[in-house]
Amino acid sequence: MYTGNALVPCELPIIFSRPSIDVLAPVSRAIHRQKIISLNYQSHTSGFSQREIAPFALVNDGLRWHVRAYDRKSKEFRDFVLTRMADVSILLIRPFKV
């Protein structure tokens, strides 16, 4: 009779769970300053694209860090995985006129 633990331990590679400071820093600044960012994004479904997003919040789902943002290309809110971002820069325009 088997009485052991049936779970197999595993870990997600660091590259998927820890975003680069070169990505995290401008995303965090943009959230704080209410700015839009430009970035290159690698999606599993649609491939590579250049995006302009208005980030609102950072979220960790237990596996990866995401940013919840308004995507100017699709004109809707989406979640973007930070480790799929590159060449992030803050734009000088604000997402909304107040």
Mean pLDDT of 70-87: 96
Q: What is the pLDDT of residue 14?
A: 53
Q: Given a cut of 60, is residue 79 above it in pLDDT? A: yes
Question: DSSP letters of 50-76?
Answer: EEEEEEEEEEE-SS-EEEEEEETTTTE
Query: What's the total number of domains in the chain?
Result: 1
Q: What is the Cα–Cα distance from 63 to 28, expressed in whole angstroms? A: 19
pLDDT tens string 1-45: 555 565 666 555 555 578 999 999 999 999 999 999 999 999 888
Instruction: Find the domain containing 71 and state its range.
Output: 15-90
Is 2 among the domain residues? Answer: no
- Is 96 a domain residue? no
Question: Is there a domain that residue 42 lies in?
Answer: yes
User: Which pLDDT score is estimated for 4?
Assistant: 58
The CATH number that applies at residue 85 is 2.30.30
Residue 36 is predicted with a pLDDT of: 96
